[in-house]
Structure 1
């Protein structure tokens, strides 16, 4: 009986050991492998990856002005977006996809940029050379200055009346940053991205004018503008140094003024055409029919005249002279 207890405890420990080791195992790091390190425009490149989240949508792009160390400088504006591809990882977090080789809008050094579209962001940049594409040195880093967001971001502003009729919604993104480095940061460049739903953000570079000394703080205000007619749930992100430092949701209402305009147009135009058509018909129809339409009854036909015009030498109320009885008598005759 005494030996049975240690045996049962040993069996229980053997059952719990795999679970404990699984809990302590860190999440795998996503990796990307390329079938070739260099290719020319028009060719194909096979991109493989492992260690990604299972059943996750990824975007594959060839980007210029980039390196694995600095990331994609300029965001997706530096990438060949029209020739990008999307792929979904399997249940093990593995994918394999062919990517056409295209020239990005920015010169090399280039990378194959792989990033998640939904959920927590995962990004891997693999070095790649686009044969025949121009090259240029990357921008120099500005010393040891490091900026960090110290306060939550806020979207300031309100939609005007024209936004209800499809005008582009706009806001001002405000946040506070502090310089945690040892050197000043002059005119820092931020990347502001707007994402709609599950789609990847569209990044745009914006430069803030000013100098932030070591240990100092600064209030940053950057304009954010959406496309005309935009509505729905958006997310505004701020990236600095290749890393997302702040995110802010933005709910944009539907432009109901456009809907009301089209409804009124659908009612007014047919009514106006009907009135114009009736006016034309009223002008071309005969006069009698026009009178009947206006009064609601037909005009009676004109009766022939029963009066006879008197002759100039005949007066009806006068008699001939020989029939008159009141002739004058001649005085002096018997």
Structure 2
């Protein structure tokens, strides 16, 4: 009997050892629309990517790809490989057909999604290469502003604004992209749709505002972490904020008090009868 049981255990171990391990997630890129006009924005959603920085650009469908480098976006993906960013539509120098191309900085992983750019056709010609900064602007200041409203005091989604002061210390323009996430954890993963940032001129100092939403029910301490990215290099930014809606506890206390008063009125208790002489 022991031999039979041992054999069953051995067979189960061998079966588990021979079972194929689950395949790693496949990096994917999807768009919120299939067609867009120049200067419009499309939202690029990413899933299945390893943690790290990726480059998002609108490119021609040829090989090697010809991309609109000036409007490319670089974002940092946290563990889990999910995220996204808006991409401004500008046809690449060689024209279309076009596709949104997402690539890791080392070029090992790539995913594409087709996009029809209205009015953009293939117009072969030479591309003009601009000299751009290879270091990101310096973050001289970073803080959070509260954009309060009455609904927030009852636990609804709360609005904040990250205020950054950036200074380009390079002698050439700096193409900048922002990547931020928000959450209560030490490694926040909540997606923040960062606005596009026009290039900073040499020596320019500019204030950039990034809207952030603390999803409902908003309560407690929050960490906002992000990067200011230029040409694959990044300056990290981290700020904190909190939200403690005072109206919600007050409303609960009022409801509890009302219930106690109503209960006492419905059950006044037994009154003592006067004693007979």
Q: TM-score normalised by the shorter chain: which range applies?
A: 0.3 to 0.5
Between Structure 1 and Structure 2, the one with more helix by share is: 1
Question: Which has the larger share of strand?
Answer: 2
TM (norm. structure 2) is: 0.47
Higher relative contact order (CA closer than 8 Å, sequence separation 6+) = 2
Determine which structure has more spread, i.e. the larger CA radius of gyration: 1
